[in-house]
């Protein structure tokens, strides 16, 4: 429980530090938009909007779809595959690179800020109710 509380505190601190909206792009050329990483759960482009394209666990362009190209633990394009060849990237509005979104802790240039680390640890339970987890994390 203490570990979870500490993770949440670190996560919230990282959100305060990021004034930039962060975007996720996937595919072999990282040209497939996969949603906004740190926007609110009502934003249609947010990965936290469970009713939107990028937050739905059923949509093909969602990192939460465990059977999809970008959410499966077996896909070369998924952040949740330890051996993914082409994990998604995180960039800001100007295209500045924040790292690869991947559970592979040995991947060069892996995103290592608090929000990313939190997703790596809890993605499998977050995907079941992203709206609830958004509320837990951000409020």
Is the pLDDT at 4 greater than 70? The verdict is: no
Cβ atoms within 10 Å of 123's Cβ, excluding its own: 20
137/7 Cα distance (integer angstroms): 10
User: pLDDT digit string (tens) for 46-99?
Assistant: 999 999 999 999 999 999 999 999 999 999 999 999 999 999 999 999 999 999
DSSP 103: S
Is the pLDDT at 16 greater than 80? The verdict is: no
Is the pLDDT at 5 greater than 60? The verdict is: no
Residue with tokens 């040209």: 31
> Do 35 and 117 meet the contact criterion of CB atoms below 8 Å apart?
no
User: pLDDT digit string (tens) for 104-122?
Assistant: 999 999 999 999 999 999 9
Residue 29, class by beta-carbon neighbours within 10 Å (0-12 exposed, 13-18 middle, 19+ buried)? exposed
Q: What is the pLDDT of residue 70?
A: 98
């Amino acid at each position: 429980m203490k570990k979870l509380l500490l993770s949440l505190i670190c996560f919230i601190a990282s959100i305060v530090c990021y004034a930039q909206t962060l975007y996720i792009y996937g595919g072999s050329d990282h040209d497939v938009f996969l949603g906004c990483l740190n926007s609110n759960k009502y934003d249609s482009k947010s990965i936290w909007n469970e009713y939107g394209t990028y937050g739905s666990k059923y949509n093909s362009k969602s990192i939460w779809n465990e059977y999809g190209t970008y959410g499966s633990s077996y896909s070369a394009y998924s952040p949740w595959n330890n051996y993914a060849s082409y994990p998604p990237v995180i960039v800001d509005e100007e295209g500045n690179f924040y790292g690869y979104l991947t559970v592979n802790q040995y991947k060069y240039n892996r995103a290592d800020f608090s929000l990313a680390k939190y997703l790596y640890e809890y993605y499998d339970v977050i995907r079941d109710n992203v709206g609830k987890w958004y509320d837990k994390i951000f409020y």
